[in-house]
Structure 1
Amino acid sequence: MPTIAVVGEVVADAVLPPDGIVDGAAHLAVHPGGGPANTAVALARLGSTARFAARISGGALGALCRAKLEASTVDLSASENAVEPATLAIARLDAGGAASYEFYTDGTADWAWTDASLAKLIDGPFGAQSPPVALHTGSLALALQPSGQVIENLLARARPAMTTSVDPNLRPLLVPVASYRLWIDRWAGLADILRLSEDDLDLLWPGWTPEQAATHLHACGVPLAVVSLGGDGAFASLRGEQVRVPIAPTTLVDTVGAGDSFHGGLLHFLAEGGYLGGRLETLTPAALTDALTFASRVSAINCSRAGANPPWASELG
Structure 2
Amino acid sequence: MSFLVIGECVADIVRAPAGSGAADRVHPGGSPANVAHGLGRLGRDVTLLTQLADDPAGRLIAAHLRAAGVRVEVGGVPPRTPSAVVGLDARGAATYTFDIAWTLEPGSPVEPTPAHVHIGSIGAVTEPGATTVLAETERLRGRATVSYDPNVRPALMGEHAVAVAGAERCVALADLVKASDEDLAWLYPDEDPEAVAARWLDLGPALVLVTRGAGGSSAVTRRHTVRSTAPEAVVVDTVGAGDSFMSAVLDALAGRDAAALGALPADALAALLATAGAAAAVTVSRAGSQPPDRAELDAARAAFAL
- Whether the TM-score (by the shorter chain) exceeds 0.5 is yes
Contact 2:185 2:193 in 1 (8 A): no
Q: Is the 8 A contact 1:134 1:276 kept in 2?
A: no
Which residue in 1 is equivalent to 2:105? Answer: 114
2:115 equivalent to 1:170: no
Output the amino acid matched with 1:52: L
Report what 2:70 is aligned to. Answer: 74
What pairs up with 1:183-198 in 2 under 5 angstroms? 183-198=166-181
Question: What do residues 83-132 of structure 1 show as CA deviations (whole Å, max 9, x unaligned)?
Answer: 521001011000110000010014xxxx22233x1x523xx1x3xxxx42
Pairing partner for 2:141 from 143, 155, 159:
159
Cα distance in 2 between the residues matched to 1:132 and 1:239: 27
The answer (yes or no) to whether the contact 2:172–2:205 under 8 Å persists in 1 is: yes
The residue that corresponds to 1:219 in the other structure is 202
In the TM superposition, what whole-angstrom CA distance separates every residue of 1:208-240 from its partner, at most 9, and x where no partner exists?
Answer: 112211121011112111110111111110224
Residue 50 of structure 1 deviates from its aligned partner by 1.3
Out of 119, 122, 133, the residue aligned to residue 115 of structure 2 is 133
Counterparts of 1:95 and 1:60, CA distance in 2: 30
Show the counterpart of 1:267: 250
Give RMSD over aligned pairs: 1.9
Question: Equivalent residue of 2:261, what SS?
Answer: coil
Distance of 1:239 and 1:277 partners within structure 2? 12
Corresponding position: 1:59 with 2:63: no
* Unmatched runs of 5 consecutive residues or more in structure 1: none
Cα offset, 1:184, TM superposition: 2.4
Alignment of 1:1-317 (within 5 A): 2-19=1-18, 27-76=23-72, 78-80=73-75, 82=77, 84-106=79-101, 111-115=102-106, 117=107, 119-121=108-110, 124=111, 126=112, 131-176=113-158, 177-271=160-254, 274-276=255-257, 280=261, 283-316=264-297, 317=299
**In percent, how many aligned pairs have the same letter?**
35
| Range with greater deviation from structure 2 (205-214 or 57-66) | 205-214
Normalising to structure 2: TM-score of the pair? 0.91
Work out the CA distance in 2 between the residues paired with 1:27 and 1:7: 32
Moved more, 31-40 or 212-221: 212-221
Unaligned runs of 5+ in 2: 300-306
What code does the residue aligned with 1:85 have? Answer: R
| 1:276–1:27 CA distance, 2 compared to 1 (3 A) | farther
SS at match of 2:279: helix
